Structure 1
Amino acid sequence: MSHANAALTPRARLTVARLVVDAGVPISEVAARFQCSWATVKRWADRYRAGASMQDRSSRPKSSPNKTAMPVVKRVVSLRLRLREGPVQLAARVGVAPSTVHQILRRCRLNRLAHVDRATGEPVRRYEHPHPGSMIHVDVKKLGNIPDGGGWRYVGRQQGKRNRAASDPDRRKGANRGPLLGHAFVHTVIDDYSRVAYAEVHDDETAVTAVGVLERATAWFKARGVTVERVLSDNGPAYRSNLWRQTCTALGITPKRTRPYRPQTNGKIERFHRTLADGWGYARCYQSETQRRHALAGWLHHYNHHRRHTACGNLSPFTRLTNVPGQYI
């Protein structure tokens, strides 16, 4: 199809060619009548004599020596489906430019959705505090414990149920009461400016546990030159407790809470939970819950020191903290 500013449409081209070839009108006269160049009229007249189409020809080259190799394309698609990472992270793994990865994902219809709110469809309003420690986000991610032998996500529901029954101490004693295995509660803390993350796994989400995580996270950030000023949480019971408020006062931190039923306000840590689940929680087939918990420290190190983050200019979160011991490990 011709472009919007084309002087001649395919039908007009045919008229031009017929005037020159069939009617014998001089090329210069036809060019003046249709307000185009002599060469343009000559080109369409020659195509008409040869019996060629009046439609635009494809501008695609016969060969593309710099085209991305098919093994690279297949690897990008495979990593996208398995890891669900963006073009920047995939480019670092494959060894090509992020723009090349983005073109591959678009061609395969695996590119990311528009940055809009899923509930309302409106553009997401983004914000970022001016320096590290100005605001930290806290929340809890709840995961089901993995039975010995693996969970149903990798070994199937039938084998997974047998593993759960064999791993639960009450079931081994013949009792049918109580939930199987229980849950793991991942208490997460993320800095608003740098996106540096801190996380611990516990068996509950009580106020005592949440306060302990906050104290250790504050000390962890302080050891890296970051002084926490504010903390943003949801309206969970642990964060509405007097113990939480008293601890924040003792640490010199201003507690803030999101609007009820509005998790978008704490969206940075909610998005981190998705990355946490994809990169660690369900990344591979863990043979037990203990094995998965032991893998958390290594994944956090990779996230903070090595994984590229688009909000940090395609660099790792730790690059936004200066003069930190062990920054480039």
Structure 2
Amino acid sequence: MADADKNRVIVLAVVEGGLSVAEAAQRFKVSRRWIYALLTRYRAEGVAGLEPRSRAPRTSPQATPAPVRARIVELRDALTGEGLDAGAESIADRLAREDLTVPATSTIWRILREGERVTAQPRKRPRSSWTRFEAATPNGCWQSDMTHWHLADATEVEIISWLDDHSRFLLHISVHAVVTAPIVTTTFLTTAREHGLPASTLTDDGLIYTTRFANYKGGPNHFEHVIASLGVKQKNGHPGHPQTQGKIERFHQTLKKWLAARPDADTIDAMQHVLHTFQHVYNHERPHRSLARRTPAEAYTALPKDQPSIELLERHWRVRHDIVDPGGTITVRWAGKLRHLGIGRAHRGTDIVLLMAGRDTLVIDRTTGEIIAEHHLDETRDYQPKKHQRPLPKEGPL
């Protein structure tokens, strides 16, 4: 018997059949409290009051407050409009910054589905099945690649980026009419002067990065020569397998989504300004899922940086690229403090390679390959004078 029919039978048995409440409860195997409730509803609403009602609680103290629900939908629309990630975790980050109640990510997704802001993707591969690889420390590996974009007049341009593999920190991004091997080298060296040299690089097999996969008879290109001279290990993905450079490939998706949400720039200079804005947002305002919801800038500065090294004279030498300042010195951090290494004013502006092994240094002119200074560091001094070269003995009479 359906619940509605049973409720009517119970009430009619009491009201018209003359059964007492106790007799009806015994006969229909229900509680007397339930019968009294049915009689109250019958007297107030008639037969319609006997229809089954929802057993859900009328109030839920743990329900997401209406203002928070509305803000979740607003944030979804705002982030999508700005070309930024608008997933549940990104929304949760924004709610926390605004000191609002932060529901579980599953609750946020449910609110977005109810608001018709997401479409179910049942065939999407679960993130738990992904295998992640990353450098253990900042500057352990830099990934780089170029991608295509356009100006407002449909002129094609190319964008090159350098991304730290460990932290996803965007080290460099610039736009050019065409990205060439010399531009790759220039952007690498400029980035290295600001952030230090990486221990290795990871790129695809494009000719601007390597000639190893192209049967090129001219030998290594300009970029390959430079990083080899600096002790930086070069790694390249296999041809036709972009997944090896997955971080930079995924980064370009984020970049293009952000650019597509904005008016196209009229000139390359204007485009570069837009990219600098994106670089700040990406590094400092956008927490990353794979970084435990930290920003790339926070992850990049959380650990000591790695650096290249080479074996020379049976010793392990750290390698650094630098330029001699106008005062004829370079600055390094050693034994917990900044030290100024004297090179000589005659070498100011010189592009140098600094090799360090313990207390000893070698400073090499990158253009000529000449050793222009050596030092034996003293922890009690800030300024470190270079070793004096002993003059060659004068030749005696024949």
TM-score, normalising length: structure 1: 0.65
Deviation of 1:67 after TM superposition, in Å, equals: 1.0
Matched, 1:125 2:131: yes
Once the two structures are overlaid, the 10-residue window that deviates more, 230-239 or 315-324, is 315-324
Matched, 1:248 2:227: yes
Q: Could you list the per-position Cα deviations for residues 203-243 of structure 1 after superposition, in whole angstroms to 9, with x for gaps in the alignment?
A: 22322222332333333321xxxx52232222222233222
Alignment partners' CA distance in 2, 1:105 and 1:289: 38
Alignment of 1:130-209 (within 5 A): 130-144=136-150, 146=151, 151=152, 164=153, 181=155, 183-197=156-170, 198-209=172-183
Matched, 1:106 2:113: yes
Matched, 1:38 2:31: yes
Unaligned runs of 5+ in 1: 1-10, 32-36, 152-163, 165-179, 325-329
Alignment of 1:197-236 (within 5 A): 197=170, 198-222=172-196, 228-236=198-206
Alignment partners' CA distance in 2, 1:98 and 1:281: 30
Alignment of 1:253-272 (within 5 A): 253-272=232-251
Bigger helix share: 1
Alignment partners' CA distance in 2, 1:115 and 1:247: 48
Q: Could you list the per-position Cα deviations for residues 238-294 of structure 1 after superposition, in whole angstroms to 9, with x for gaps in the alignment?
A: 233222443332232322222333323322212211222233465235343321212
Matched, 1:26 2:6: no
Residue among 17, 24, 27 paired with 2:7: 17
Q: Is the 8 A contact 2:176 2:268 kept in 1?
A: no
Unaligned runs of 5+ in 2: 14-18, 212-219, 305-398
Residue among 286, 299, 302 paired with 1:322: 302
Alignment partners' CA distance in 2, 1:121 and 1:316: 20
Instruction: Return closer, same or farther for 1:220/1:62 CA change in 2, 3 Å cut-off.
Output: closer
Q: Give the aligned partner of residue 80 of structure 2.
A: 81
Q: Give the aligned partner of residue 254 of structure 2.
A: 275
Q: Aligned to 1:193, what secondary structure does the other structure show?
A: coil
Alignment partners' CA distance in 1, 2:206 and 2:90: 33
Q: Is the 8 A contact 1:141 1:186 kept in 2?
A: yes
Instruction: Kindly provide the amino acid, as one letter, of the partner of residue 3 in structure 2.
Output: R
Give the length in aligned residue pairs: 271
Which protein has greater RCO, CA pairs closer than 8 Å, 6+ apart? 1
Q: Is the 8 A contact 2:201 2:232 kept in 1?
A: yes
Q: Aligned to 2:67, what secondary structure does the other structure show?
A: coil
Alignment partners' CA distance in 1, 2:132 and 2:64: 41
Instruction: Kindly provide the amino acid, as one letter, of the partner of residue 125 in structure 1.
Output: T
Deviation of 1:73 after TM superposition, in Å, equals: 5.7
Residue among 50, 53, 59 paired with 2:51: 53
Alignment partners' CA distance in 2, 1:317 and 1:214: 19
Q: Aligned to 2:159, what secondary structure does the other structure show?
A: strand
Q: Is the 8 A contact 1:115 1:124 kept in 2?
A: no
Q: Give the aligned partner of residue 8 of structure 1.
A: none
Q: Is the 8 A contact 1:190 1:269 kept in 2?
A: yes
Q: Aligned to 2:208, what secondary structure does the other structure show?
A: helix
Alignment partners' CA distance in 2, 1:69 and 1:217: 42
Alignment partners' CA distance in 1, 2:27 and 2:51: 23
Q: % of aligned pairs identical?
A: 20
Alignment partners' CA distance in 2, 1:264 and 1:213: 24
Q: Aligned to 2:263, what secondary structure does the other structure show?
A: coil
Instruction: Kindly provide the amino acid, as one letter, of the partner of residue 201 in structure 2.
Output: V
Instruction: Return closer, same or farther for 1:140/1:45 CA change in 2, 3 Å cut-off.
Output: same
Bigger strand share: 2
Matched, 1:311 2:301: no
Q: Is the 8 A contact 1:44 1:54 kept in 2?
A: no
Deviation of 1:130 after TM superposition, in Å, equals: 2.5
Deviation of 1:20 after TM superposition, in Å, equals: 3.3
Q: Is the 8 A contact 2:69 2:111 kept in 1?
A: no
Alignment partners' CA distance in 2, 1:114 and 1:247: 47
